[in-house]
Amino acid sequence: MGACFSAAGKETVGGAAGKRELPDVGVGNSQRMVKPRGSVDNKGNDENIKNQQQERQLSPAKEREKDKGTVAVGHKRRPSGVVPCGKRTDFGYDKNFNDRYAIGKLLGHGQFGYTFVATDRTNGDRVAVKRIEKAKMVLPIAVEDVKREVKILKALTGHENVVHFYNAFEDENYVFIVMELCEGGELLDRILAKKDSRYTEKDAAIVVRQMLKVAAECHLHGLVHRDMKPENFLFKSNKEDSPLKATDFGLSDFIKPGKKFHDIVGSAYYVAPEVLKRKSGPESDAWSIGVITYILLCGRRPFWDKTEDGIFKEVLKNKPDFKRKPWPSISSSAKDFVQKLLVKDPRARPTASQALSHQWVKEGGEAKDIPLDISVLSNMRQFVKYNRFKQFALRALASTLNEDELSDLRDQFDAIDVDKNGSISLEEMRQALGQDIPWRMKDSRVLEILQAIDCNTDGLVDFTEFVAAALHVHQLEEHDSERWNVRSQAAFDKFDMDRDGYITPEELRLHTGLKGSINPLLEEADIDKDGKISLSEFRRLLRTASMGSHNLPSPPGVRNHQRP
């Protein structure tokens, strides 16, 4: 239900309870997906993205005709005489909307209601008000969608790149959601207005940085946006340097760390491969931003076909074209950024926060603006659970990496090291882990994590110790397999003192200084049970360390709102 409107009068959002379905895509009959508005029926891949402009100018009547037979469960015709769920629900919102606001001109409408400009009677400020008709909330899912949207807007309010939420009201017939009025139009409109529908690299980086900040903030709240696309971002004003605002959270949903969504939602051109495989999480937002960045830089979509089935096959199997003009004239840094976000394996894809540390996006930005990365916090929580050999192996691998390979982790370390003394204290660790909102961690657990990472037992975590616990092994392997082979070999050699190709219990004892029985530490890595560790077994141990951070147990007290 995440509708927000620009003052230009264009509806910018589909709406959660008003989800439109796509035809089946060969993965079962129950998947749901928002139909990409005006983005499917192009006649050829050579045609520019400007084709969207004509397709998006359908009248409301034609939009309804286009969607006939595709409305989601919330729109089903109710049996005669049954009172809609929305009419029977007290949402718990304030009841004095008409005392506070005066409704003005209509901005647009969706399946469930209308959005207007309104004036605050107390101070004269203009706002956007979405008025949702309770009678159209037939089933409980529609009510849940409205409640979830308000919850999301409340959680994200205060972020500079999210439309500001003022309040929610209700009366007997309507729910009113009062939000910031954005008068600068959609990001898509600005793309279309550019020469060749392209942004300059500098301007594109500014836009992308703002979208990544939104995604990273969502992820810290245990929220996945699930429908990142240019239509869902508005500019606050018509000024060129106007801030960008995320407005549509209609498909957004909360998810437990380590868990996955199993439904198919989103918009065809921006949907990530793992969404189509019914196993998606926060990484899918980074993919969508990668698609948007590709469009911003070249004016074309990276994955195209005449049919939705064809689009999905492109997304699953093919790589974007970086040879056709204008890509030869685009910087290698920009191409590297897009290529990293469009990695098909979500485990190897940068998180939104990591992507903010990429030099192309960071140019002109400040490290202090980079939010904490949920995967870094997750990796640190997991590190304490590893056996000592795996921890030592990660420390050895971390010691082989150079400054460029660690730039994103340096930014994360600096973000946690609030007092900038070069080390992370217990209080700084507690504050950082506390920002991952779905996890409610006791101070004793924070101390346990810090002590596991703090290998020199001085009560602080320095950068080297931090890297070992926060490292993304899968990304290192995926992005440069040759470099991965060299780095993992170098880490292995730190243990293999006689260079015979194996790590023995005695070598592990000499390297670590551990006393007592060493054999139990080798058991997890010693796949063939020959009492020693080969290079391939060592690499497998490192990979499983990275995989573990994506498969954590659920935090206490958090429900996972997964849709069927």
Other C-beta atoms lying within 10 Å of the C-beta of residue 504: 18
Residue type, 519: N
Q: How far apart are CA 513 and CA 492, in angstroms?
A: 17
**In terms of DSSP H, where are the helices of 271-406?**
273-276, 283-298, 308-317, 332-341, 352-355, 359-362, 374-383, 388-398
Of the CA atoms within 13 Å of residue 462, those in its CB half-sphere come to 8
Mean pLDDT of 63-88: 53
Q: What is the pLDDT of residue 55?
A: 36
pLDDT in tens, 192-224: 888 788 898 999 999 999 999 999 999 999 999
Burial category of 317 from C-beta neighbours within 10 Å (exposed 0-12, middle 13-18, buried 19 and up): exposed
Cis upstream peptide for 346 (omega within 30°): no
Say which residue, 417 or 562, is predicted with more confidence: 417
Query: How far is 44 from 553, CA to CA, in rounded Å?
Result: 47
Cα three-residue angle 35-36-40, rounded to 5 degrees = 105
CA separation for the pair 71, 315 (Å, rounded)? 25
Active site residue 203: no
3-state secondary structure of 457: coil
Average pLDDT of span 371-392: 87
**Mean per-residue pLDDT, 37-57:** 37
- Per-residue model confidence (pLDDT) at position 81: 62
Is 130 annotated to bind ligand? yes
pLDDT at residue 392 tops 80: yes
pLDDT at 514 over 50: yes
Residues 432-462 pLDDT 10s: 888 776 666 666 788 889 999 998 889 999 9
Q: What is the rounded CA–CA span in Å between residue 37 and residue 45?
A: 18
What domains appear along the chain, each with residue ranges and CATH number? 51-179 (3.30.200.20), 187-369 (1.10.510.10), 374-548 (1.10.238.10)
Of 28-32, 244-248, 334-338, 468-472, the range with the lowest mean pLDDT is 28-32
Q: How many CA atoms lie within 13 A of 85 on its CB side?
A: 18
Give me the pLDDT at residue 80, please.
54
Closest CA to 472 of 393, 363, 547: 547
pLDDT at position 47, please? 41
Quickly state the pLDDT bin for 480 (edges 50, 70, 90): low
Q: For residue 232, how far is the Cα from the chain centroid?
A: 14
Q: How many CB atoms sit inside 10 A of residue 411's CB?
A: 24
Does 299 score more than 50 pLDDT? yes
69-78, 79-88, 172-181, 476-485, range with the lowest pLDDT:
69-78
Residue entry with tokens 């999210």: 162
d(CA 206, CA 364): 9
Say yes or no to pLDDT of 37 above 50.
no
Percent of the chain residues past pLDDT 70, beyond the cut: 79
> pLDDT confidence of 396, banded at 50, 70, 90?
very high
- Counting every residue written for the chain, the total comes to 564
Q: What is the pLDDT of residues 94-136, one digit of tens each?
A: 999 999 999 999 988 877 789 999 999 999 999 999 999 999 9
The rounded distance, in Å, linking the Cα atoms of 57 and 37 is: 10
Q: Which two tokens stand for residue 288?
A: 């969508």
The pLDDT of residue 557 = 38
Neighbours of 456 (CB within 10 A): 10
pLDDT grade for 14, boundaries at 50, 70 and 90:
very low
Between CA 38 and CA 69, with CA 112 as vertex, the angle to 5 degrees is 55
User: For residue 469, what pLDDT is reported?
Assistant: 92
Least confident of 227-241, 282-296, 510-524: 510-524
Give yes or no for a contact between 393 and 491, defined as CB atoms under 8 angstroms apart.
Answer: yes
Average pLDDT over residues 484-498: 93
Nearest to 465 by CA among 403, 538, 392: 392
Averaged pLDDT for residues 70-78: 39
Average pLDDT, the chain: 81
